Amino acid sequence: MPRFAMITALFLMQVLASGCGSTKVFTATEQLLMSDAVDSAVAKLDFRPLGGAKVFLDTTYITAMGKQTVMPQIHNTMVNSDYVISAIRQQMIAAGCLLVDTKDLADVICEARCGAIGLDGHSVTYGLPANNFLSSASSVVGGGGNLPAIPELSLAKRELKSAASKVAVFAYDRETREPVYQTGIAQAGSNARDTWFLGIGPIQQGTIYRGTRFAGKRFRAGQPPSINTEPPVGVIDHRAGVVFQKDAIPRIDPNGSSPAQMAEGSAVERR
């Protein structure tokens, strides 16, 4: 009778806490977290003091980080040392730096490094986690069949994934080797939170989402919370769309004329 009462109580608890929901988005979520952390850190690098100078970006140590990293999962994602390098180059160009391909053509050499790029995960359950305590106790006492494992009985559950990135760049004169500038260390993070109540969910929140989502769909409008992601005042954020030179963008005439034909027609009109 005690065993029957216990099984009945567990069954009733499971019925009362009914609900089910899961979302398998680990690969996409991890890539978004890592890229968002990198973008947020690079956005805080201010290259305006080097604007107008011919700059060579030395990526020796960032490339070495990508090859010798202690996190093998980085090799299985698109967010690696190449992504960090491209983000830094874009930030430098937005600040007016003239990037060159070799050191011999540069006035200033910038050396970049990446101190961190990785993921963490945490899970908290408010209730009873899944366990096989009754089955183990039954086998020790003996005299009865094995009892099934107790499933997870949770009132609420939260899973948190977070990513962090840390980058820095310093510059020196190519000829004299004297120090010219250093950006300081830029560090930023990103997160994604999944929450379940009575098994219903996940309710998704975090810096990589545009508002709150329920099982992958938007729940309500809003902006994601930021974690130290704002660039310095006056810095052009490489994450935003910017048109630097309108005249350099080829235009297509509605009648189908090419840019060269349009330019020739404009010259005729000026005559």
pLDDT tens for 212-259 read 877 667 765 554 455 556 777 778 777 777 777 666 556 555 565 555
Please report which residue ranges of 97-232 form alpha helices under DSSP H.
Answer: 133-141
Give the pLDDT mean for 75-104.
88
Is the pLDDT reported for residue 16 higher than 60?
Answer: no
Strands 108-128 and 54-58, by their bridges, are: parallel
- Under the banding of pLDDT at 50, 70 and 90, the label for residue 19 is very low
Query: Amino acid identity, residue 246?
Result: K
Per-residue confidence (pLDDT) for residue 80, from 0 to 100 = 84
pLDDT in tens, 132-156: 665 665 555 555 556 666 776 778 8
10 has a pLDDT exceeding 70: no
Question: If DSSP codes are grouped into helix, strand and coil, which group holds residue 219?
Answer: strand
Sign (positive or negative) of CA dihedral 167, 168, 174, 175: negative
> Residue 36 — pLDDT band, cuts 50, 70, 90?
very high
pLDDT at 236: 78
Rg of the chain on CA atoms, in Å: 28
**Cis, peptide link before residue 72, omega less than 30° from 0:** no
Q: Which residue has the tokens 């967010």?
A: 79
To the nearest whole number, what is the mean pLDDT of the chain? 75
Q: How far apart, in Å, do the first and last CA atoms of the chain sit?
A: 105
pLDDT for 109: 97
Instruction: Assess contact for 110 and 171: CB atoms under 8 A.
Output: yes
